[in-house]
Structure 1
């Protein structure tokens, strides 16, 4: 059973969903919404109380000011507010992609509120030796969005991310034309979210100091992706090897049960035995 709720936070009204029983687990993405994590959340609901949400400005989470930029810090504060609304002092957190960056900001900004953070493929471009080139590529993607639209921007984004567009195993868009909501979410991502997320610099001393345990996750099939490089760089800074998860950057979409099994092993400590 899934319960849908809303929460007023500064500047926005968040849509979130609660399912399952057991220890509290927040699952977060950026810009991915709660619906994208539903199969994973369902697979985890037998062992956890799983909370998913639409990040501010995405899908059902409406902003007071549609032009407000979405930053990892703002999204981290939203997760803190969700914990307050749930009456929880702390929780485990799984964040993927931009949601992993949100999780890193949460650990740094709200010490003690995260037990274990699994940061799955955070796109931390500033950690790379070619950060200047990646910064320029990000600016070019955003400029492409403003001049040529969502489709052209996504194409350039995916190529820069390392996906073999048109090749075997390449991501394919859903059948039919994108919905108005998908177009709106994509526009928000490029105009107000991508730069702040990709250029975020994690507070490594705060992440290493605890009390949160921070685990970096990398997809087994992500070797050619930009996020493999950023995840490896973060793991090296934290002084702990990354954990391999099924699939690539979106492995929880295609293999939710297998992905959930690895996530449970990490959260329960079985992965360390």
Structure 2
């Protein structure tokens, strides 16, 4: 089984473009993270109330127990989902066979986390004072631009670059993702990015872990940098994937193909 943990304000639909290729090899399972999309909270969160990585990690473990209780699972987590995947491996290594953590924005692993801590805190404050559009614009600007990836999926017959039609499930996620953004920026972004990984727990199971980055996000330090530093700390290889921070969405065919190689221990 392959558990796919979405990141940011995305839900299970994030991986819609990859699942057809992945399902040829694995039983794929994903989820809407707690409070996002179809995963409803019993009550609204108050301003300043924060989601906890450990709670989301236990949610993922419960999914594993429900779907494949006797099986060691593969896991892919992207962005904040990668932070959850790392916590899941630290807490329940016996349940996992191999974990790919793609660009976890773990600011404590950066040489100087202060500028990005200030950026994320400023985005949250801007959400409170000026609204969602202003906060998203500041967030996007602060992270910087990706560089084009020459390995991105080529257009199919009749399409031009950049005009490929996304799968219906991905299109259907777009309004849900927009609705999720306030919760993500207010309650997830700052606490998750400030939660250091449990390196002591990860070290003895580092052979199960593959930190990963996107080729197109090398200039985005908060997204690209932490995975490399985690790999160096644990003495393991860093995998480089097609696309950027959203490679699973933007270059799904190439991303899925490389993921299969990495999960089977053949790619890096």
What TM-score bracket applies, with the shorter chain setting the length?
Answer: 0.7 to 0.9
> What are structure 2's unaligned runs of at least 5 residues?
150-161, 167-172
Cα distance, 1:132 vs structure 2: 2.2
Residue of 28, 53, 65 corresponding to 2:43: 65
Q: Which 10-residue stretch deviates more, 106-115 or 91-100?
A: 106-115
Residue of 217, 220, 237 corresponding to 2:215: 220
Equivalent residue, structure 2, for 1:100? 82
Equivalent residue, structure 2, for 1:158? 140
2:190 maps to 1:201: no
Contact 2:11 2:177 in 1 (8 A): no
**Distance in 2 between the 1:233 and 1:211 partners?**
14
2:39 maps to 1:43: no
Aligned partner of residue 16 in structure 2, secondary structure: helix
Residue of 213, 225, 232 corresponding to 2:228: 232
Q: Which has the higher strand share?
A: 1
Aligned partner of residue 36 in structure 1, secondary structure: helix
Once the two structures are superposed, the pairs formed by residues 86-165 of structure 1 within 5 Å of their partners are: 86-89=67-70, 90-163=72-145
2:247 maps to 1:251: yes
Cα distance, 1:148 vs structure 2: 0.9
Equivalent residue, structure 1, for 2:263? 267
**Distance in 1 between the 2:30 and 2:175 partners?**
22
> What are structure 1's unaligned runs of at least 5 residues?
1-23
Structure number with higher relative contact order (C-alpha < 8 Å, ≥ 6 residues apart): 2
Q: RMSD value over aligned CA atoms? A: 2.3
TM-score (norm 1): 0.82
Q: Which 10-residue stretch deviates more, 238-247 or 132-141?
A: 132-141
Aligned partner of residue 129 in structure 1, secondary structure: coil
List per-residue Cα deviations over 1:21-71 (Å, max 9, x = no partner).
xxx000012332111111112220111000011101111111112216322
Q: Which has the higher helix share?
A: 2
Cα distance, 1:179 vs structure 2: 7.1
Aligned partner of residue 240 in structure 2, secondary structure: strand
**Distance in 2 between the 1:212 and 1:88 partners?**
22
**Distance in 2 between the 1:106 and 1:76 partners?**
5
Corresponding residue pairs, total: 241
**Distance in 2 between the 1:41 and 1:161 partners?**
28
Contact 1:108 1:207 in 2 (8 A): yes
Contact 1:112 1:211 in 2 (8 A): no
